[in-house]
Chain A
Amino acid sequence: MASEAERRPQGMFECQLCALSAPYSYVGQKPPDTRSVVLLEESYILKDPFTADRDKFLVLGSRCSVCSRLVCVGPECSLFYSKRFCLPCVRENIAAFPQEIRQDVEKRKALAKMPHVKP
């Protein structure tokens, strides 16, 4: 259980938009125990809780590159397009994004309005 100790949660990650919270064990671009995968943003990372494999990680979220809010990677809160953007910032600056992203954001809005998909 040595690895257990190494992986002690460093703190609680909490999304500033949807309040999703989970303990994270690492912040950075190079998840521990993984050599060949690197992250393209400073991420809050948790060991993937749904697998016994110790090397598997799960990215919880990161800071919006516009407003620096800490947001989760959930589609209702943020998107990644070479950088992390929270959805409010995307909407505010929607013109800066290519067509595909614009469409995508529209789609998400529609989805979020449906009653059974709770944010």
Chain B
Amino acid sequence: MPPPRTREGRGHRDHHRAPHEEETPERWDWNHPETRRLLEDTFFRDEEYIRQGSEECQKFWAFFERFQRFQNLKTARKEEQDPGPPKHSIPALADLPRTYDPRYRINLSVLGPDTRGSREPGRRLPPERVAEFRRALLHYLDFGQKQAFGRLAKLQRERAALPIAQYGKRILQTLKEHQVVVVAGDTGCGKSTQVPQYLLAAGFSHVACTQPRRIACISLAKRVGFESLSQYGSQVGYQIRFESTRSAATKIVFLTVGLLLRQIQREPSLPQYQVLIVDEVHERHLHNDFLLGVLRRLLPQRPDLKVVLMSATINIALFSSYFGGAPVVQVPGRLFPITIVYQPPEVEPATAKSEKLDPRPFLRVLEAIDNKYPPEERGDLLVFLSGMAEISAVLEAAQTYASHTQRWVVLPLHSTLSVADQDKVFDVAPPGVRKCILSTNIAETSVTIDGIRFVVDSGKVKEMSYDPQAKLQRLQEFWISQASAEQRKGRAGRTGPGVCFRLYAESDYDAFAPYPVPEIRRVALDALVLQMKSMSLGDPRAFPFIEPPPPASLETAILYLRDQGALDGTEALTPIGSLLAQLPVDVVIGKMLVLGSTFHLAEPVLTIAAALSVQSPFTRSAQSNPECAAARRPLESDQGDPFTLFNIFNTWVQVKSERSRNSRKWCRRRGIEEHRLYEMANLRRQFKDLLEDHVLLAGTEAPRPGDSYSRLQQRRERQALYQLKRQHEEGAGRRRKVLRLQEEQDGASSDEDRGATADQDSCDSVDIQDVKFKLRHNLEQLQAAASSAQDLSRDQMALLKLVLGRGLYPQLAVPDPFNSGCKDSDQIFHTQTKQGTVLHPTCVFAGSPEVLHTQEPESRASDGSRDDKDKMSSKHQLLTFVSLLETNKPYLVNCVRVPALQHSNNVYDRDFEELGHVIVGPEGYTELKVQDDFLEEWRDLRTKGRVPKGWRWKGQIQTSNREQGRGLQEQLDPGADGVSESTSHHILSLFPQVPYSLRRLTGLEVQNLYVGPQTITAAPSLPGLFGSSTLSPHPSKGGYTVTDFLTYNCLTSDTDLYSDCLRTFWTCPHCDLHMPFTPLERITHENTCPNAPQGGSPGAEEADPEPLQKASALQRPYHCETCQKDFMFTPTEVLRHRKQHV
């Protein structure tokens, strides 16, 4: 193919500014649309390198104009006629062109129109113009090649310059010789991006790299894909909870630790991987620590599996020795020198100890920077604070300072900010202005911001700790560890020399703990233990943790799981337990899901469970903004917070299906972070799939539109959505914006508005979240669920509350009797483990506590007292809550109010006395007492209020794998017991008028509540009463275990009222037998009455076995030495008995 000939002597002169000079008959104008179209039709057809109408095509024309100008300038100079060198002896040099032409520098060629098959448009173009155009095109292509190659070369240079680059060979070599290698290197050494690529280059093709955070999986996969030149290929992928880019061709996958553990759960030997990289092990996350333990056990079984542990240079010996002295490859970090300034605040007067943080020490640093460093010297400031309250305290003060000096843009950074607001910290400040980022410890490891030169370290962190005794999470402020302090300091030296201001003394630093407390010592271990059980890892107490959790936490977790029926008496996993283990949620939420599906309330329960499993969707600004609060009010439910979330989700789905573009606005107006709602939708879908997998839910047949037309329509819509998604991904990468001074003063909502409009400009008004949402979910189905939720009947609602109450049990709180006389903020509640808890400020009841008060004007027993103490009412309520969180006060989070007696009788563990006396709670802490006048009625009703079998699942079923899933469902199916909506109606309509008192028992009362363990000679034998089930005495409480959640006759009563004289006349409704009965005799009759209807005899589960002797508070176990028998005797009886032997 000969190089196309060019005639540059002429072409360049006649650009569009002087078309009339042109000798061609028509006016020639390069800018004319028609001209361009003709050329495009010729050169930029569909199959060509550049396509008409593409972005590239626009780029070309821009290049073209520049190129023309440039050519003009150049040829204005004298064109030198080089005579050329003499012919060369080397053949390659011999035939070099005699006359120099830039064209010879280009190693490619573009075919002319004639070689493309002469077409109409091409022929109408003058050949000189075509040549000129081709020449420009050639240069354009060459320019593109140079640019792309430049990027490639730069990329490789940068990779080679990373500190770790020199260690790549050594890492691979060590890995060849050992099964486990520890790679220790500080921030910036490049280990996270490079090690996977070294493995790839060495020929490994099944590499998994775990990350503690989802966001890191995505960004690392992107970066590594880019660096390994497969940005648009599929050899590098990521896999997180709801998203995966993994395919069969994927060689490296970045995934969360949690996800890898789930893979191990399914395939314990992890056959799909050759190499496992566990990144950030030094962070000591619960899952990471656990994974290390699992790996240590797995490695001997998989000698071919290689493991690379990657860590900062923190406590490396611990990891190395845990894996039998694994070799360590230590890589230096790339940090610039950092100056440390210790600047402890002056001792503040002890009296002025307010809860609010004093911002002055922080302002002093801002001032010092302003004074010392000229504004032209760029470099931003990162301030580490302990929590959100501290951030807002400093934010306020710093903003005032900033508006005064015009030299700072102050930005908060914490995890509850909206995603858009979080992204702002990556924007750049205008010249002469610095960013001041006020952050929680999120910026210590999770978020890396470039351009930081100054760091202020408050030395504090707020961390969640767990109190296994009180089963309570505590958010407390602590001094950080030395390791954290170093990490914070390091943030100042990533891009140049930096300064770190430590607002504490050097002696404080020396007193810091060397390392942070690992998460396993700070959190509840319920989920971990459950997962360990489901992975058949044996006794959790014997598991070789890298550092074992506190034994009390383990015991609490095991006990809790046993109480919840996930483990049986031998601590083996029950079928329900294995189901719960597969749900990626707290056990309480899991229970709710299982119960919900058995009670045909799956749809609403799915939504509620998902809502309770994500972060609160309410943005912080919305709390203080009265407009948001007002807009949100119609969505609030006075039943409780989960129902508010339920309403929000459902309404949002409606908004989406009606006018999807506006859902973002809809959320913003109500102070809702839409991202959380997307998460809810995803989670809901996952729950549903899991429940369907276990046949707890019938698979949903998607309502397929019948006719082919609408099917086609639907397919088109989906295709359009995919197209949008692709376009978005191609144009991906949020461009950095320049921040405005004073931006924050406007408040968050207007910021977001601005953000939104900017987004719309940049991505063609496509809400990519909305597109993804529509691709992932069947909006019609969701909408159907949402609208059916809006007309839940009263009974369904009540049943839903029963499900929630049962799921959340024993997380319930009793209102303080004096609440009704107190102001809103002083309302207190008592849980089993914690007295005097308060409602979280976001709780719906915090604003309207009166709905929790017992309002019954005709309270008879209270005699004019204004409180609810011992008040007889049929309307007492309990609060059931999702979590107990202690910050400055213990807060109840996500509460639901429930009718006390109904719930106590039906869904809670309880102990009974026949005398209208119910004690609720596993250890007994709430007492309900029915008013004497109503005893008869209560008894009567109580026997009807049988507990549906479905509420309980303990140890009934042997397996729950898919084949036997049906069995599980049958076992759980309340239908067998006839529980349905009407039953719930039946349950709830019980006790409508029975007045009772409700109170929390004091510690002393609880101690003396039970008769205590007794040695009883003979089990109560009332043949036929309980069928085959045998009653056993309760080991600690005394009395009898009727079912695993009901103990009868274990309460100490002050009077011995159980006697024959309590017989009352009663008529059997079935056989009309009329005679005096004791309660027990009556139940016995009911059970055996030949005329009683089939299908669950009344009282089968609650019937009370009459002990052989009359119960008496004075009775104590007595073992008679003489006759070698055990008795229950009062002291008098003992004397009497002894007399017999005399």
Binding site for B on A (CB under 8 A): 1, 4-5, 7, 20-23, 34-41, 43, 46, 48-53, 55-56, 58-60, 62, 65-66, 72-74, 79-85, 93, 95-101, 118
Given known A-B contacts A38-B1, A40-B108, A80-B107, A58 and B145 have beta carbons under 8 A apart? yes
Contact call A55/B82, Cβ cutoff below 8 A? no
Contact call A20/B106, Cβ cutoff below 8 A? no
Which B residues are CB-close (under 8 A) to A55? 49
Which A residues are CB-close (under 8 A) to B99? 98
Which B residues are CB-close (under 8 A) to A48? 148
Q: Which of B43, B100, B110, B226 contacts A101 (CB 8 A)?
A: B100
> What per-residue 1/0 map shows which CB atoms of B1-24 lie under 8 Å from chain A?
101000000000000000000000
Contact call A37/B92, Cβ cutoff below 8 A? no
Q: Which of A34, A49, A73, A96 contacts B88 (CB 8 A)?
A: A96
Complex CA gap A96/B100 in Å reads 12
Contact call B234/A38, Cβ cutoff below 8 A? no
Contact call B108/A38, Cβ cutoff below 8 A? yes
Contact call A96/B149, Cβ cutoff below 8 A? no
Nearest chain-B residue to A8 (Cβ)?
Answer: B249
Which B residues are CB-close (under 8 A) to A20? 152-153, 156
Contact call B107/A43, Cβ cutoff below 8 A? yes
9 residue pairs of the A-B complex, CB under 8 angstroms, read A35-B111, A49-B152, A52-B232, A58-B149, A58-B152, A80-B105, A96-B90, A98-B84, A98-B96
Q: Does B986 contact A (CB under 8 A)?
A: no
Complex CA gap A21/B247 in Å reads 26
- Contacts A73-B145, A98-B84 known; list 15 others, CB within 8 Å: A5-B249, A7-B233, A35-B111, A36-B49, A36-B116, A37-B49, A39-B109, A40-B107, A50-B151, A55-B49, A59-B149, A72-B153, A80-B107, A97-B96, A98-B82
Nearest chain-B residue to A5 (Cβ)?
Answer: B249
Contact call A79/B152, Cβ cutoff below 8 A? no
Which A residues are CB-close (under 8 A) to B249? 1, 4-5
- Secondary structure class of chain B's binding surface, majority of residues: loop
Q: Which of A7, A50, A85 contacts B231 (CB 8 A)?
A: A50
B160 to chain A, nearest CB (A): 9
- A-B CB contacts (within 8 Å), total count: 128
B137 to chain A, nearest CB (A): 9
Contact call B148/A58, Cβ cutoff below 8 A? yes
Which B residues are CB-close (under 8 A) to A60? 149, 152
Contact call B105/A81, Cβ cutoff below 8 A? yes
A58 to chain B, nearest CB (A): 5
B3 to chain A, nearest CB (A): 7
Q: Does B77 contact A (CB under 8 A)?
A: no
Nearest chain-A residue to B116 (Cβ)?
Answer: A36
Which B residues are CB-close (under 8 A) to A23? 229
Complex CA gap A101/B48 in Å reads 32
Which A residues are CB-close (under 8 A) to B97? 81-82
Contact call B92/A66, Cβ cutoff below 8 A? yes
Which B residues are CB-close (under 8 A) to A49? 152, 226, 229-232
Q: Does B741 contact A (CB under 8 A)?
A: no
Contact call B43/A36, Cβ cutoff below 8 A? yes
Contact call A100/B100, Cβ cutoff below 8 A? yes
Q: Does B368 contact A (CB under 8 A)?
A: no
B4 to chain A, nearest CB (A): 11
Contact call A37/B108, Cβ cutoff below 8 A? yes
Contact call B49/A34, Cβ cutoff below 8 A? yes
Which B residues are CB-close (under 8 A) to A98? 82, 84-85, 96, 99-100
Q: Does B730 contact A (CB under 8 A)?
A: yes
Given known A-B contacts A40-B3, A55-B49, A82-B104, A1 and B96 have beta carbons under 8 A apart? no
Contact call B96/A99, Cβ cutoff below 8 A? no
Complex CA gap A47/B805 in Å reads 60
List CB contacts (< 8 Å) of B86-105 with chain A. 88, 90, 92-93, 95-97, 99-100, 104-105
Which A residues are CB-close (under 8 A) to B161? 118
List CB contacts (< 8 Å) of B58-101 with chain A. 80, 82, 84-85, 88, 90, 92-93, 95-97, 99-100
Given known A-B contacts A52-B730, A118-B157, A82 and B96 have beta carbons under 8 A apart? yes
Binding site for A on B (CB under 8 A): 1, 3, 43, 47-49, 56, 80, 82, 84-85, 88, 90, 92-93, 95-97, 99-100, 104-111, 116, 141, 145, 148-149, 151-153, 156-157, 161, 226, 229-234, 247, 249, 730
Nearest chain-B residue to A119 (Cβ)?
Answer: B157
Which B residues are CB-close (under 8 A) to A59? 107-108, 145, 149
Which A residues are CB-close (under 8 A) to B82? 98-100
Complex CA gap A22/B47 in Å reads 27
Which A residues are CB-close (under 8 A) to B47? 35
Can you list the 4 inter-chain pairs with the closest CB atoms, starting with the nearest?
A49-B229, A65-B92, A98-B100, A96-B93
Contact call B93/A66, Cβ cutoff below 8 A? yes
Complex CA gap A55/B54 in Å reads 14
Complex CA gap A76/B352 in Å reads 68
Given known A-B contacts A59-B145, A98-B100, A35 and B90 have beta carbons under 8 A apart? no
Contact call B107/A74, Cβ cutoff below 8 A? no
Given known A-B contacts A1-B234, A101-B100, A84 and B88 have beta carbons under 8 A apart? no
Which B residues are CB-close (under 8 A) to A56? 49
Contact call B149/A74, Cβ cutoff below 8 A? yes
Complex CA gap A82/B161 in Å reads 34
Complex CA gap A55/B46 in Å reads 12
Contact call A36/B111, Cβ cutoff below 8 A? yes
Contact call A83/B109, Cβ cutoff below 8 A? no
Contact call A39/B148, Cβ cutoff below 8 A? no
Contact call A40/B92, Cβ cutoff below 8 A? no
B151 to chain A, nearest CB (A): 6
Nearest chain-A residue to B108 (Cβ)?
Answer: A39
A51 to chain B, nearest CB (A): 7
Complex CA gap A65/B100 in Å reads 19
Complex CA gap A41/B106 in Å reads 10
Complex CA gap A21/B159 in Å reads 12
Contact call B145/A36, Cβ cutoff below 8 A? no
Nearest chain-B residue to A94 (Cβ)?
Answer: B85
Contact call A37/B148, Cβ cutoff below 8 A? no
A85 to chain B, nearest CB (A): 8
A110 to chain B, nearest CB (A): 18
Contact call B145/A50, Cβ cutoff below 8 A? no
A44 to chain B, nearest CB (A): 12
Which A residues are CB-close (under 8 A) to B145? 58-59, 73
Nearest chain-B residue to A68 (Cβ)?
Answer: B92
Contact call A95/B85, Cβ cutoff below 8 A? yes
A111 to chain B, nearest CB (A): 13
Contact call B105/A99, Cβ cutoff below 8 A? no
Which B residues are CB-close (under 8 A) to A99? 80, 82, 100
A56 to chain B, nearest CB (A): 8
Which A residues are CB-close (under 8 A) to B48? 35-36
Which A residues are CB-close (under 8 A) to B153? 20, 72, 74
Which B residues are CB-close (under 8 A) to A40? 3, 106-109
Complex CA gap A57/B133 in Å reads 21
Complex CA gap A98/B108 in Å reads 20
Complex CA gap A62/B107 in Å reads 11
Complex CA gap A81/B99 in Å reads 11
Complex CA gap A65/B47 in Å reads 33
Q: Which of A39, A51, A58 contacts B107 (CB 8 A)?
A: A39
Nearest chain-B residue to A117 (Cβ)?
Answer: B157
Nearest chain-A residue to B156 (Cβ)?
Answer: A20
Contact call B148/A50, Cβ cutoff below 8 A? yes
Contact call A37/B229, Cβ cutoff below 8 A? no
Which A residues are CB-close (under 8 A) to B234? 1, 4
Which B residues are CB-close (under 8 A) to A43? 107
Complex CA gap A4/B111 in Å reads 27
B382 to chain A, nearest CB (A): 28
Which A residues are CB-close (under 8 A) to B90? 66, 93, 96
Complex CA gap A21/B156 in Å reads 8
Given known A-B contacts A37-B109, A66-B90, A46 and B232 have beta carbons under 8 A apart? no
Nearest chain-A residue to B87 (Cβ)?
Answer: A96
Nearest chain-B residue to A65 (Cβ)?
Answer: B92
A77 to chain B, nearest CB (A): 10
Contact call A93/B104, Cβ cutoff below 8 A? no
B530 to chain A, nearest CB (A): 38
